[in-house]
Amino acid sequence: SEAGELLGLMHYMEGLRLFTVAELVPPTSDENVTVTDTEFSSVPVRLYLPRKAPGGLRRAVLYFHGGGWCLGDAGMRGYDLLTRRISSELNAVVVSVNYRLAPRHRFPAQFEDVYSVTKFFLQSAVLARYGADPARLGVAGDSAGGNLAAAVAQQLLEDPEVKTKLKAQVLIYPALQALDLDLPSYRDNADKPILSRSLMVRFWSEYFSPDPALREAMASNRHVPAGSSHLLRLPAAYILTCQHDVLRDDGAMYAARLRAAGVPVTHQHAQDAFHGAITFLAWPLELALSHRLLNACLDWLRENL
């Protein structure tokens, strides 16, 4: 990717996106779940509908994939397996959203897409169409998708058009702040695989602006003045952080802020895990660690959604 960009052959993110394409799998139904690619509010989604009798209304989860707002796809094998298991094991309707990606589409396009899908799905008629329980709805996402899930949960509280409330939010090693990119987790894991500090800086800068000056400022941690923000009351949260991850402190700090605001929080910190670990669910990159992390997440959803 770096060589291609230096030679003027392709944008850096276009090179990385080739890995995404190699991982794509078609929407394939099985004995437990019916899987289709469709659109909600003109945004592509992969929809998972359980086949077994519901015994009443079902849980529903809107899932937002990771990839630094620049990469990723709901149809990647790791995400397809993850969302398929959520649907099958929780007997839940799952909507996995293919939001627009940077650098072609920058902030706030990604948020606009996931929020538009969420508002569409939360309509009473749509929930009824899919047998989803309006009292058991959640948002979830990993990495950049965790950022989008947290943002959707906050924005829904301020939207007078939305009457249905979320019950849960699941934030898997989420990217939650760009104010300080020199936190201990950034220093400890600056050169770790999957997500280095330099790659995270690149993701943030591509998400916000094409100006290379922003990337240079973020790399030296001099891009914003000190400030604070107000946190509103939110649905119960499950936050996963990993020791070997530049985003470790983002999740830990957000968990503390949610608790301070009176929000029920379960913060799972995995000492032996790294960024992206939850998607290594199948051969040749299958890890027992990935199944353990996903099982813990599923257990929380069973109890709280």
As a whole number of Å, the end-to-end CA separation of the chain is: 41
Alpha-carbon distance 153 to 136, whole Å? 14
Alpha-carbon distance 110 to 102, whole Å? 8
How many residues belong to the chain?
A: 305
Q: What is the 3-state secondary structure (H, E, C) of the chain?
A: CHHHHHCCCCCHHHHHHHHHHHCECCCCCCCCEEEEEEEECCEEEEEEEECCCCCCCEEEEEEECCCCCCCCCCCEHHHHHHHHHHHHHHCCEEEEECCCCCCCCCCCHHHHHHHHHHHHHCCHHHHHHCCEEEEEEEEEEECHHHHHHHHHHHHHHCCCCCCCCCCEEEEECCCCCCCCCCCHHHHHCCCCCCCCHHHHHHHHHHHHCCCHHHHHHHHCCCCCCCCCCCCCCCCEEEEEEEEECCCHHHHHHHHHHHHHCCCCEEEEEEEEEECCHHHCCCCCCCCHHHHHHHHHHHHHHHHHC
Known active-site residue 143 = yes
Of the candidates 88, 96, 143, 185, the residue annotated as catalytic is: 143
Active site (catalytic) residues: 143
